A and B are shown apart, each in its own frame.
Chain A
């Protein structure tokens, strides 16, 4: 890599008396999961290229509490939430961007009731804003004419009605956007939500990620685009299970853009 990533932390900026335009909430997957870290880096590359003034919490970040809440542990969720809110409020954070729809949903919808009020956007919405403001440019090039399908993350789509921002970005790549049998409001879950990511599935006839991967492969895409680190993992596993990893890639929208720009 030619350029090192510039990843300022809130603590550093605070010490220098600066306030970034936006806080990038990396999330646990984005911080620790090897596959998701690539998404995090791709997104940072775009932010660096567009000279966006941002910062991360770094070691001051902690789980939003989403998996605890969906597992039924409201107490642990609120402990996490209140702790995070104290940190965010101490830095007077106004705007949060995250590449994880679970963090997005939790901070946007469930933190306000506990004293955390921020403008929260998903990274696809943020990238769309940057594009509309002319702060990043995207030429198709690499992805021109490629068949790309978008898998709607439940916590971005149905949970928060964000369907178009990721699709607009795919179209901007001059790619051929193709839709699965179940998409948008009727999108099928990847199988990871509701804390399922962290447990074995109940007994059944099939795993959910296989069902969803089959739906995707039915329309013969070259790339399955995702907007969630968990969906990404589930679909990557599904594609491997179908032995299609040589011909079908699972990529985050941020990775598509970073790759199109050769970042």
Chain B
């Protein structure tokens, strides 16, 4: 009896020590885009890891126990929030890490300070599809909101590691300037589009379209999260043909079946674009991801 008890006590002591012996900060993010933004801010003062893979849909990540191990040892946890990554809540509950629980100093909801779009009003119900009561959660597809996320992450890093404030602040400002330079470049590239209407697969693009003055002509999903039907696709194709809409915008993790069907019926071109860092060989960073998106969008628009 004494031996198992001694082992348990030793393990408890090891548990306490491990939480204090970290040589560098550990940042865990829900997806790879936030991971890249965190890397830009934290530099070499932290290691960064994403829970989701680049090819995952951020709505539907399968929570796995190995993710709990990562969260249990994290100093900072950064999430997209707004109900997009609810799968992470079960992991947080199990992690036993007070620092990264909501309200903890290492917990970051990167949507903090966002002026949300598509906030539903009145009563909503499941017949309307998978609506998010707090608004459209795909704000990271507006590169400018990457600055907001970076600021929230930098603030958490300073809470956890106050001595690094000048370093994090400086890197945050540098990241902000790179995004601003990118915004000039991307705006210029999109200025010449012959038709500013696009048809996305899912309503992920509200922030992106608003940023670059593009318009959502229609959506391939009849309602968020609901599978398209041939009837809906046919009706949408007729309207697109009449209006001369040429671009179907689709996240690269989705099946090509419906976008190809729609594009084939109206002579449009599907643009399959990465929406997470690493989802495409060209999308190696948050900024490179937008270079790829814009390049493919302009290419599809002809």
* A joins B in a complex: no
Interface set of A (CB-CB < 8 Å, partner B):
none
